[in-house]
Amino acid sequence: RLDILLDRYGTTGLAIGRHEGRDPVALPDAADLTEAEIDWIVRNERVVHLSDIFLRRTCLAISGQVTVPLARAVANVARRARGWTDERERAELVEFSKLLLENHGVRLELG
């Protein structure tokens, strides 16, 4: 796992690995990413919106890996890390869905 993190983030992968601990939980439809990895990204990479994670901080969108279960799981991690309300989490999912459709022609029913 550490090799993957080092390849993906360079030496920052060490900090992410420490943040993950011994038993990281994989995300649905993205087995090479974990909840703790997303949590670290949200807490340390100036994430404001859900789209920041998918479009700017990971390769999930560009690699075509975004699915409804994955988007919901990542939104849940972001909600906990940022202290979002349930309403804010839903709004982020709706906005991300609209952005995917309007800017990239990708339909993902997240609303």
**Mind listing the pLDDT tens digit for each residue in 71-102?**
999 999 999 999 999 999 999 999 999 999 99
In a domain, 17, yes or no: yes
CATH number, domain at 96?
A: 1.10.8
What sign does the CA torsion over 54, 55, 60, 61 have? positive
Counted domains in the chain: 1
Mean pLDDT value of segment 24-51: 96
Contact 80, 25 (CB under 8 A): no
In a domain, 111, yes or no: no
In a domain, 36, yes or no: yes
Domain extent at residue 55: 2-104
* 0.85 surpassed by pTM: yes
* φ and ψ at residue 27, rounded to 5 degrees: -85, 150
Mean pLDDT value of segment 20-46: 95
CA angle (43 as vertex; 16, 27 as ends), nearest 5: 60
> Cα(47)–Cα(52) distance, rounded to whole angstroms?
6
pLDDT value, residue 3 = 95
